[in-house]
Structure 1
Amino acid sequence: MSHQCEHEHHDHSPPPVTNSTQSLYEHINFLQVVCLNAVAKGSDNQSACVFKTQDEKYNVSRYLESDADCQMIIHVPFTGTCKLFSIVLRCNRTDGGYSSPKTIKLYKNFNKNVDFDTLSESKDDHHFENPQDIGIGVGIETDVLDDSTFVEHHLPRHIFQNCYSLTLFIQDNWTADEDDLTCCFYLELRGEYTGERASNDAIPLMTVYESAPNPVDHQKLEYEHENMELGM
């Protein structure tokens, strides 16, 4: 179904409520998670900087920070197929060389090279805007016990079924200055694990490598308020 049809037949009813028991944390293939243009802060393990257990979700000592500019790619493979319901993010506020991430594009089961050039030239399966200045400041050393600093983005469920991987592309920021860096403190994927492991024949061979990020595209995308919730 095209994005045009989705908007023409958009359902304005509230999205189904999710909860932390629907976290797909235990079904992520952490050994194959790849983060591009990202520097691990507080840990040598990039995936551990953003994927945290419910007991650690308020921890801000570990996070990912973009490197050359504001853009960042997080490629998340699963141990089997899943249905995705929502994404919970905790990012940075705009302050002192950092800017809140704005446009985030999602690619389901992306079967091409995962790099900035290829993703920029490929049609996303869904995109949304992260709200401006909802998040936390960079450099805080103690846990931040504030649920309002998390944002849950509900996904169109008819699109994100039979997922064996999800690729997130943080494309730009709210200051429209590509030199302002991006931080991601927490990323949670909620949904349902189907228990069906994808066969080797079903998973295309794919290379993942670093590439120089493209210039930030500042085109404003439609912001669907009903698909975004503050807090947990």
Structure 2
Amino acid sequence: MSGHGHGGDGHTCGSSCDGAHEPAERGVEFGLWRRIDVDRLQCLNESRDGAGRTVFKPWDQRADRQLYVQSDADHELLFNVPFTGSVKLKGIVVSGEDDGSHAAEVRLYKNVPAMSFDDAAEREPDQVFRLNRDPLAELEYPTKISRFSDVHHLAIHISANFGEETTRVYYIGLRGTYSEAHRHQVTICNYEASANPADHRAESIVPQTNFIS
């Protein structure tokens, strides 16, 4: 599937959105999965513990159906995704089954760690996407880069699907760039406690006279 569609406040891009891309090049662009702090990643309302982590995987594994996450009590899923540095998020791909269990709406929240469903209900998202069914992981939803230029934590809330009681996700791809977290170094400065006259010899002394009239 290629070309453009529209959903939410962004548009979807097929494989021709930015011109022809070699698979290897696309793999690099969607390499932010490597920058996720997997040990701290959380998926709320997953039916199987740890399944939410498996959908963040390499670009060339996006069509793999063996690993997936499925919601439990209802159709909602909430991913808390911490990064190991600073991310500029440019686009997202969400892939599922070609049926009513596919995610229909995604809400993104920037830098809100340990977000809950109550938080999602109360907070205004930074961006909302209305999704199309995308079983082959071909549709990219571009973000407002000005809002997602310094992301340390990304909350991904799947708030609706296409009608099933539960939601199933096979792949979430994150496109963007990454920069290492800056470590602040302590600079030690030696200040002169008192002036040494020998170090501050004047070349010449010009006397000044003040006249009082």
TM-score (norm 2): 0.69
Q: Letter of the aligned partner of 1:67 in structure 2?
A: D
1:80 aligned to which of 85, 97, 102 = 85
Deviation at 1:58, TM superposition (A): 2.2
Counterparts in 2 of 1:92-111, with a 5 A limit? 92-94=97-99, 98-111=100-113
Q: Letter of the aligned partner of 2:105 in structure 1?
A: T
Query: Are the structure 2 counterparts of residues 105 and 48 from structure 1 closer, same or farther at C-alpha, using a change threshold of 3 Å?
Result: closer
Q: In the alignment, is residue 186 of structure 1 matched against residue 187 of structure 2?
A: no
Query: Are the structure 2 counterparts of residues 152 and 198 from structure 1 closer, same or farther at C-alpha, using a change threshold of 3 Å?
Result: farther
Q: Letter of the aligned partner of 1:103 in structure 2?
A: E
Q: Is the 8 A contact 1:34 1:75 kept in 2?
A: yes
Deviation at 1:71, TM superposition (A): 0.5
Q: Letter of the aligned partner of 1:100 in structure 2?
A: H
Structure 1 residue runs of 5 or longer lacking an equivalent are 1-6, 136-147, 200-232
Q: Give me the whole-angstrom Cα distance separating, in 2, the residues matched to 1:190 and 1:155.
A: 10
Deviation at 1:15, TM superposition (A): 6.8
Q: Is the 8 A contact 1:83 1:192 kept in 2?
A: yes
Q: Give me the whole-angstrom Cα distance separating, in 1, the residues matched to 2:108 and 2:165.
A: 22
Q: Can you list the C-alpha shifts for 1:103-148, whole angstroms capped at 9, x where unaligned?
A: 210000015x5111111110100001111x332xxxxxxxxxxxx4
Root mean square deviation, CA, Å: 2.6
Query: Are the structure 2 counterparts of residues 198 and 109 from structure 1 closer, same or farther at C-alpha, using a change threshold of 3 Å?
Result: farther
Q: Letter of the aligned partner of 1:156 in structure 2?
A: K
Q: Give me the whole-angstrom Cα distance separating, in 2, the residues matched to 1:85 and 1:198.
A: 25
- Which residue is equivalent to 2:158? 170
- Aligned-partner SS, 2:160: coil
Q: Is the 8 A contact 1:48 1:62 kept in 2?
A: no
Q: Letter of the aligned partner of 1:170 in structure 2?
A: I
Aligned length: 166
TM-score (norm 1): 0.64
Q: In the alignment, is residue 35 of structure 1 matched against residue 43 of structure 2?
A: yes
Counterparts in 2 of 1:1-232, with a 5 A limit? 19-22=26-29, 23-40=31-48, 45-94=50-99, 98-111=100-113, 114-131=115-132, 133-135=133-135, 148-175=136-163, 180-197=165-182
Q: Is the 8 A contact 2:93 2:174 kept in 1?
A: yes
